A and B are shown apart, each in its own frame.
Chain A
């Protein structure tokens, strides 16, 4: 069925957040802020809540509504979006508008379609019943387009929907949103991001639970090149489509990394490197008022993600470490990465430091004693403090 139907009004259905009791007002306000953040460069909009729905109205005719719909359907907390036509409470106008509406759709091509008409009458003062309206409008459409339309109430090609509230709303498309909670409702987390497939997805998943994100990236120039940095920035930008603006911390990690390479047994390098990264990330998170670390680890996926390696890494921090992918199969992570649009960037061939400085035969089951021995000649705290002085911070956002 063709899309079309010029409209300047979007009906936004909100999910989980209507369950949130007394906080509900805050949640909805946050979601409206998030919607506004994504579209305010496209023109002027009136965005407000009414009857448990959010309404987004473009205030001028030259706004690219296709782009608006695309962006709004990425906002967490939204269950679905429908572009609607708004009509006064007048049945004659509704008849007229329905004919035009379907006529516009059919004018896109010459195919025949099956359809169905559905009416919801929320406003009980409207003089006609919903069944009566559906039957009558259906008959009018069939009469007007006898060659093109047939009724099928079970599996129609499209459904013309009429909602009668304090106005009448006419639409036929319902585009699913990402659901979840509005970003910004669940505190702030520090995402350890690399150029891989997993960490951007982990960031996305925490953002879907309403968490605001900052991201920390450990750059080891010249071992990793400018392309590697750009790749991570690009990934962050894609995640920010959903999560909102992300403060990006680019860490100059080369000197610290070399100190580890020189002082640490080769088979423990990966674990100790990750411990140092966690330590730096934790210190930074505290100063940024972020309450947790977020990583893309998945249990057993690689040597550094065994139970023992994770325990050894976690021991360095007192901050909770959220690992939304811990029990998720790689294929499913790839699936999400494809859906949110990070996959094609993630598989570009630029290495990050985790791949450049990988141990050839890492210890897969390191104990805390192993860690202690490996770090004997290292002062991790001092290294972390030195690294903190070498951070370049800037915001990354998908929309201006």
Chain B
């Protein structure tokens, strides 16, 4: 029985991944840049990891930079590109109001320290960035950098990646395009080659790898200035001794979660429908914030008359884990900037709870969740 409904914040490590990780950590302790036999063992592990990832995410092995996670990947893409811009390129970045803090704060950093100007694009009521606004902005002014979240960690809203890349390229072929694809990896198929992106940021612990690993995919002909200087590892793009067993765990987790990805997704979509159906059946008043065609795994709901925090506390006391918005700012009820950008009022935002489902959940788990939510609502809500 799984009472953990906070997969968007973090997922447990997959059993196979963990077993091999422990094994490899014991076995492959040598520095992968050492040229002795032991070092070679570690390097082989990394090479194998690159192959797995390249195959799963449809990219070249040389396009992978391993990082400490999603935030570092995003920082590397944006700062690394900014530091590398020609003096003649406009110092202008376009992004949306629906971004994860890693992107938002990096944009603010670039404004403060690198003379950047940011164009912030608003969100539709359904959570996607406003395409027409984006198009008008890129056509009006030349932007050297573009960055958008593929799937919203707050609502599951899916941006039209193909269209965004297309209109951005049409307006200016030189724009470097980055996407935060953290929430889609391991949930829906993703091809870096077909995406047309220059950069994609990925975090391992969202799909069953350990924490502190992730990667930035960088299109082969694009250059970045590294964030971390040192021994010149990873083709001089990210120094620091690689953790071969961790990198292998990352690759294995990507590969495993890509297995039967379509069937898993369908199953999760069923669970989500089941949950929403039960809420209706139990007559629990609620407003679904997440768009209908968003990622099925993320479901943000606002319960009138009951603060999200109260629901979370009461569920937590019954050993059920959900979250009030993105875990990165779980303690600031009503201050969720993404939901605010979607046009929701403070009250609705303060009353919102994010459930995230996984193929590991059973129908029984969902029934228990719905029943418990219903009981809590009846006991504590004061609409």
Interface residues, chain A, with chain B CB atoms under 8 Å away: 221-227, 258, 261-262, 349-351, 356
B331 at the interface (CB under 8 A from A): yes
When distances are taken between beta carbons in the complex, the residues of chain B under 8 Å from A223 are 307, 309-310, 313, 380
Which residue of chain B is the closest to A357 with respect to CB atoms? Answer: B382
Cβ B382 vs Cβ A225 within 8 A? no
A227-B307 Cα distance, complex, nearest whole Å: 16
Specify the chain B residue showing the minimal Cβ separation from A356.
B307
Give the docked Cα–Cα distance between A302 and B313 (Å). 28
Tell me if A222 and B331 are in contact (CB < 8 A): no
In the complex, chain B residues whose CB is within 8 Å of the CB of A351: 309, 333
Best-buried of B307, B313, B331, B376 by chain A (most CB within 10 Å): B313
Closest to B318 in A: A222
Of A258, A261, A350, which one neighbours B331 at CB under 8 angstroms? Answer: A350
B307 touches A221 (CB 8 A): no
| Nearest CB in chain A: distance from B168 CB, A | 38
CA A227 to CA B332, docked complex, whole Å: 13
Q: Shortest beta-carbon distance, B233 to chain A, in Å? A: 40
In the complex, the answer to whether A222 meets B382 with C-beta atoms within 8 Å is: no
Beta-carbon contact of B382 and A261 below 8 Å: yes
The answer to whether residues A222 and B313 also contact, given A261-B382, A356-B307 and a CB cut-off of 8 A, is yes
Q: Give the residues in chain A near B316, CB-CB below 8 Å.
A: 222, 225-226
Chain A residue with minimal CB distance to B380?
A222
Could you pull out 17 A-B pairs where Cβ atoms are within 8 angstroms?
A: A221-B313, A221-B314, A222-B311, A222-B312, A222-B314, A222-B380, A223-B307, A223-B309, A223-B310, A223-B313, A223-B380, A224-B313, A225-B313, A225-B316, A258-B380, A349-B331, A356-B310
- Nearest CB of A to B379, in Å: 8
The complex places the Cα of A8 from the Cα of B309 at a distance, in Å, of 52
CB 8 Å contact bits of B307-333 with A (1 = contact, 0 = none):
101111110110000000000000111
Using Cβ atoms and an 8 Å threshold, which residues of chain A touch B314?
221-222
Residues from chain A with a CB closer than 8 A to the CB of B312 are 222, 225
CB < 8 Å neighbour of B317 from A222, A224, A350, A356: A222
CB-CB under 8 A from B380, the residues of chain A are 222-223, 258
Whether A221 contacts B317 by the Cβ 8 Å rule is yes
Kindly report which residue of chain A lies nearest to residue B333, judged by CB atoms: A351
How far apart sit A227 and B313, CA to CA, in the bound complex (Å)? Answer: 10
Residues of chain B within 8 A (CB-CB) of A349 are 331-332
- A221-B317, A222-B380, A261-B382 known; A227+B310 contact, CB < 8 A: no
Closest 6 CB pairs of A and B: A222-B313, A222-B314, A225-B313, A223-B310, A222-B310, A349-B331
Q: How far is the CB of B311 from chain A (nearest CB, A)?
A: 8
Known contacts A222-B314, A223-B380, A349-B332; can you find 10 more A-B pairs with CB under 8 A?
A222-B311, A222-B313, A222-B376, A223-B307, A223-B313, A225-B312, A225-B313, A226-B313, A262-B382, A356-B310
Known: A261-B382, A356-B307. A227 touches B331 (CB 8 A): yes
Instruction: Give bound CA distance, A225 to B312, whole Å.
Output: 9
Contacts of A222 in B (CB 8 A): 310-314, 316-317, 376, 380
Cα of A68 to Cα of B347 in the assembled complex, Å: 50
Complex CA–CA separation, A223 to B311 (angstroms):
8
A318 to B380, CA, bound (A): 33
Contacts of B332 in A (CB 8 A): 349
Residue of chain A at shortest CB distance from B309 = A225
Residues of A within 8 A of B333 (CB): 351
Q: Per-residue 0/1 for B364-377: is the Cβ within 8 Å of any A Cβ (1 yes, 0 no)? A: 00000000000010
A262 to B383, CA, bound (A): 11
Most chain A Cβ neighbours within 10 Å, of B316, B332, B376: B316
Q: Cβ of B317: which chain A residues have Cβ within 8 Å of it?
A: 221-222
Within 8 Å CB of A227, what residues of B? 331
Q: Which residues of B contact A221 (CB under 8 A)?
A: 313-314, 317
Within 294-313 of B, Cβ neighbours of A (below 8 Å) are at 307, 309-313
B347 to chain A, nearest CB (A): 10
Chain A residue contacts of B307, Cβ below 8 A: 223, 356
A262 to B, closest residue via Cβ: B382
Nearest chain B CB to A225's CB is how many angstroms away? 4
Nearest residue, chain A, Cβ from B382:
A261
CA distance A261 to B311 in the complex (A): 18
